[in-house]
Copies of this chain bind each other. A is one copy, B any other.
Amino acid sequence: MGRKRIKPGKVRLTEVAALAGVSPITVSRFFRNPDTVSAGRRLRIESAAKDLGYVPNLAARALASQRTEVIGVLIPSLTNNVFSDVLRGIYDAFEGSRYSIQLANTRYSVLQEERLLRLFLMQKPAGLIVTGVDQTAEGRAIVQAADCPVVQIMELGTDPIDMMIGFSHVDACSAAISHLLAQGCRRIGFLGARMDPRVQRRLQGYQNAMKEASLFDPRLIVTTAVPTSTTMGGSLFSDLLLKAPDLDAVFCANDDLALGVLFECQRRHIAVPEQIAIVGFNDMEFMASAVPTLTSVRTNRYEMGLRAATMVMDEIEGREVTQRVVDLGFEVIERQSSTLSRAATAGPAPGERASGTKW
């Protein structure tokens, strides 16, 4: 036979219904859609629920209704501040809504991502937000099987699973390099850490821009698979100086590296931007406050999270999402670290600043 009897202290919908003198289904309706219950019963149910300290059982609700109000969110890293901004947007958007967020961390691994997607599936999520466009075929299949709205964030791509919001890392980086070229820089280094797909694309943008200007030189590129950090910025920069002593600018694939480069320049008494210009990526808050202030590429991370979440909600709730692929763009914020006053007057003069070692 079955299991042991119901625990006496347990408060279920039924208990509330009994106390309020209505049927359980009415109480159920009250909790999901108070308007559909008449005012009199509404009050009785409300007070009964409060008296008994009733708490709805989400598992039972999910099982009976065959759906949940869980949004799965997959990001590659918790440490990377970039994602905390995106997350803040996501959490803000769902704030006060009935949805709750299930966050998981892929650690930049597509296999891990696959595993986590499989886990999400068991929850029958109402929506999914995933990072990037580089899911495995298997991963895409799993997402598709979830049969719910999906938004890919952080990047743009030609083949969205469902919806997509991001910007072009290639173009953003090219724009930063163009800015440096316009300032008269010629020996522009590239520093990258972690080298996840997005950083790879920034590197691609760098290469495109440098090749187009006929200034490409592989010795100008220093990268590492190690995660980014300020200290790493300093080390990579030191390596770069060894490989390319005639450097006149550094593009850093993110702002932590840029800060590390700035510190290393201070340490070596290299004048910024006079001897070396610095440009970062993401425009973290501290960039505007450094001495000199640091140029960076602003990316709309908070807005990305916010809008991704809104797109998911709209889709779930049947509101038509017309713009299913959103390019949020970027902006090169020019600050002291890359602004060479002479550039404004003389304009870029090829070779002008590439005059060998300057320290």
Chain B residues contacting A62 (CB-CB under 8 Å) are: 59
Q: Which of B103, B123, B259 contacts A286 (CB 8 A)?
A: B259
CA distance A121 to B100 in the complex (A): 13
Contact A78 B68 (CB under 8 A): no
Q: Which of B63, B104, B145, B291 contacts A60 (CB 8 A)?
A: B63
A22 located at the interface, meaning its Cβ lies under 8 Å from any Cβ of chain B in the complex: no
Contact A79 B68 (CB under 8 A): no
Counted per complex, copies of this chain come to 2
A19 located at the interface, meaning its Cβ lies under 8 Å from any Cβ of chain B in the complex: no
Chain B residues contacting A59 (CB-CB under 8 Å) are: 58-60, 62-63, 68, 123-124
Chain B residues contacting A267 (CB-CB under 8 Å) are: 291
Given contacts A101-B103, A122-B55, A263 and B290 within 8 Å (CB-CB):
yes
A300: min CB distance to chain B, Å: 16
Which single residue of chain B is at the shortest CB-CB distance from A88? B78
C-beta contact mask, A60-78 vs B, less than 8 Å → 1, else 0?
1011000010000000001
A23 located at the interface, meaning its Cβ lies under 8 Å from any Cβ of chain B in the complex: no
A102 located at the interface, meaning its Cβ lies under 8 Å from any Cβ of chain B in the complex: yes
Chain B residues contacting A263 (CB-CB under 8 Å) are: 289-291
A260 located at the interface, meaning its Cβ lies under 8 Å from any Cβ of chain B in the complex: yes
A81 located at the interface, meaning its Cβ lies under 8 Å from any Cβ of chain B in the complex: yes
- Among the listed stretches A170-178, A190-198, A227-235, A314-322, which one makes contact with chain B, having 4 or more residues with CB under 8 Å of it? A227-235
C-beta contact mask, A250-292 vs B, less than 8 Å → 1, else 0?
0000001001100100110000000000000000011011110
**What are some 23 contacts across the A-B interface (CB < 8 A)?**
A55-B121, A58-B122, A59-B60, A78-B87, A78-B88, A79-B85, A81-B81, A84-B84, A91-B105, A100-B102, A101-B104, A229-B285, A229-B289, A231-B289, A234-B289, A256-B286, A259-B289, A260-B286, A260-B289, A263-B289, A263-B290, A266-B291, A267-B291
